[in-house]
């Protein structure tokens, strides 16, 4: 029988960051992490891998190397969570009991909800930056582009990193310009959303970018089928049920539908939609006070990103410290999230905002402008901040720096 004071489910961004922090509070011997994967991926760099600006191998490190030393790693999948008996059942047949539970299981990709996928990825000219298996196919499709439509989709579900479906489009545009093929290309962004970006300040800038680059944006278009043998993508018009449109493509980038982790969805921890039902300010579960959540698996009504996980990790650290001392949580998460909108091989619009969609910018400059400095931050600084800061429980988001940098500015 295995019993731990602190059980962490998932060894992705949130799970590793929190296990490092929990080790600091209670000692490594009291912490266990359940994670089936041998490799831990820094997913944000896949945007640049899909565009040939970074290699896939730079995105992964062994899970063993990111696990805080002394913390127990159970290399298996969680099968069932029973919060009424503080028990988790694992795929290898064992059961683990806990005093406190942190759920960091991420979300699930649903390529299979698009007719013709995932089998369609066996054909060329189609890729997706959203999975390790398909991200290099994006780069192949881009390199093989000769002439025709380059089509980019955005699904009709919540997704992680809401900007990523269009970042690869701007990079593709830049690549085709660099290689002299842009004149033979129609670049088409078909999004399920009624807007180009959820926050108006950045949406205004992005509309300028698409206008300047001659990119076609079609709102409320949802990818429902891929016919890879004919290089056709079928979209439904979400405002006119039953109306579909077929786009021939020379290149297709798919952002798959996403949804809650099935293990959470099938447990008493889920809200109606299947997300982990946590308090939006202190990240404690709404019905089970010894359960906490972080990241993409949660019901937190903000855009799902690693930057959000960073800010959440600082708040959750504080919440759990207080709960362990039988005190009330006091630190509040404001919904901070960030999306470095890569608009070319050397420019980024750095979107940062809170629950209310109000910009919450770290630097005292207008971040809605395309900037080289912010590209450098995304491509070269962020990976270090991730591996050596966030994963070691040392980076709780940029809030202190924002406050410092804005001192005397207002």
By a kind-dependent CB cut-off of 5 to 8 A, residue 106 interacts, out of ligand UQ1, ligand FAD, none, with: ligand FAD
Q: In this complex, which beta carbon is closest to ligand FAD, that of residue 63 or of residue 222? A: 63
Rounded Cα distance, 125 and 329, in Å: 51
Residue from the set 59, 172, 267, 338 that interacts with ligand UQ1 by CB under 6 A: 338
Identify the helix (H) or strand (E) that includes residue 402.
helix 399-405
Q: Is 372 helix (H, G, I), strand (E, B) or coil?
A: helix
CB of 14 to ligand UQ1, least distance (A): 11
Contact 34, 96 (CB under 8 A): yes
By a kind-dependent CB cut-off of 5 to 8 A, residue 362 interacts, out of ligand UQ1, ligand FAD, none, with: ligand UQ1
By a kind-dependent CB cut-off of 5 to 8 A, residue 357 interacts, out of ligand FAD, ligand UQ1, none, with: none
Return residues touching ligand FAD (CB under 6 A): 9-15, 34-37, 43-44, 46-47, 77-78, 104-106, 129-130, 160-161, 164, 261, 263, 295-297, 304-307, 309, 338, 340
CB of 123 to ligand FAD, least distance (A): 21
Q: In this complex, which beta carbon is closest to ligand FAD, that of residue 88 or of residue 231? A: 88
Rounded Cα distance, 17 and 11, in Å: 9
What separation, in Å, do the N-terminal and C-terminal C-alpha atoms of the chain show?
58
CB of 134 to ligand UQ1, least distance (A): 20
By a kind-dependent CB cut-off of 5 to 8 A, residue 343 interacts, out of ligand UQ1, ligand FAD, none, with: none
Q: Is 151 helix (H, G, I), strand (E, B) or coil?
A: strand
CA geometry: angle 65, 70, 75, nearest 5 deg: 60
> Which among 205, 207, 248 is positioned nearest to 350, based on CA atoms?
205
Question: What are φ and ψ of residue 245, in 5° steps?
Answer: -140, 135
Residue 290 CB neighbour total at 10 angstroms: 14
CB of 151 to ligand FAD, least distance (A): 17
DSSP single-letter state for residue 107: E
Contact 300, 312 (CB under 8 A): yes
Active site residues: 161, 339
Residue from the set 269, 278, 390, 391 that interacts with ligand UQ1 by CB under 6 A: 390
By a kind-dependent CB cut-off of 5 to 8 A, residue 219 interacts, out of ligand FAD, ligand UQ1, none, with: none
Residues found near ligand UQ1 in the complex (CB under 6 A): 44, 306-307, 310, 338, 340, 362, 382, 385-386, 390, 395, 397-398
């Amino acid at each position: 029988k295995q019993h731990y004071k602190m059980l962490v489910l998932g060894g992705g961004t949130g799970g590793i960051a929190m296990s490092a922090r929990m080790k600091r509070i209670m000692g490594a011997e009291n912490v266990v992490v359940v994670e089936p994967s041998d490799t831990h991926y820094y997913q944000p760099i896949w945007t640049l891998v899909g565009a040939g600006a970074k290699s896939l191998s730079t995105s992964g490190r062994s899970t063993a190397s990111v696990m805080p030393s002394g913390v127990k790693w159970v290399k298996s999948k969680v099968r069932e969570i029973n919060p009424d008996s503080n028990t988790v059942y694992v795929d290898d047949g064992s059961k683990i009991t806990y005093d406190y539970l942190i759920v960091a299981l991420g979300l699930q990709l649903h390529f299979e909800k698009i007719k013709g996928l995932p089998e369609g990825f066996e054909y060329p000219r189609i890729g997706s930056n959203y999975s390790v298996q398909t991200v290099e196919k994006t780069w192949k499709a881009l390199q093989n582009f000769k002439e025709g439509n380059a089509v980019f989709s955005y699904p009709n579900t919540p997704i992680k990193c809401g900007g990523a479906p269009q970042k690869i489009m701007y990079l593709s545009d830049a690549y085709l310009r660099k290689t002299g093929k842009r004149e033979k290309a129609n670049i088409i962004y078909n999004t399920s959303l009624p807007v180009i970006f959820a926050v108006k300040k950045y949406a205004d800038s992005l509309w300028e970018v698409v206008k300047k680059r001659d990119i076609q944006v079609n709102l409320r278009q949802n990818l429902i089928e891929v016919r890879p043998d004919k290089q056709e993508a079928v979209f439904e018009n979400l405002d006119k049920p039953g109306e579909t449109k077929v786009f021939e493509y020379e290149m297709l980038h798919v952002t798959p539908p996403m949804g809650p982790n099935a293990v959470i969805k099938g447990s008493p921890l889920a809200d109606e939609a299947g997300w982990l039902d946590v308090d939006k300010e202190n990240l404690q579960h709404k019905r089970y006070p010894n359960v906490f959540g972080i990241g993409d698996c949660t019901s937190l009504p903000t855009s799902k990103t690693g930057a959000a996980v960073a800010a959440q990790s600082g708040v959750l650290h504080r919440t759990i410290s207080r709960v362990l001392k039988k005190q009330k949580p006091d630190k509040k998460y404001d919904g901070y999230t960030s999306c470095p909108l890569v608009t070319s091989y050397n420019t980024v619009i750095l979107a940062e905002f809170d629950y209310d969609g109000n910009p919450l910018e770290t630097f005292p400059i207008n971040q809605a402008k395309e900037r080289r400095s912010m590209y450098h931050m995304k491509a070269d600084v962020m990976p270090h901040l991730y591996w050596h800061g966030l994963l070691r429980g040392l980076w709780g988001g940029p809030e202190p720096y924002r406050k410092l940098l804005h001192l005397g500015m207002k």
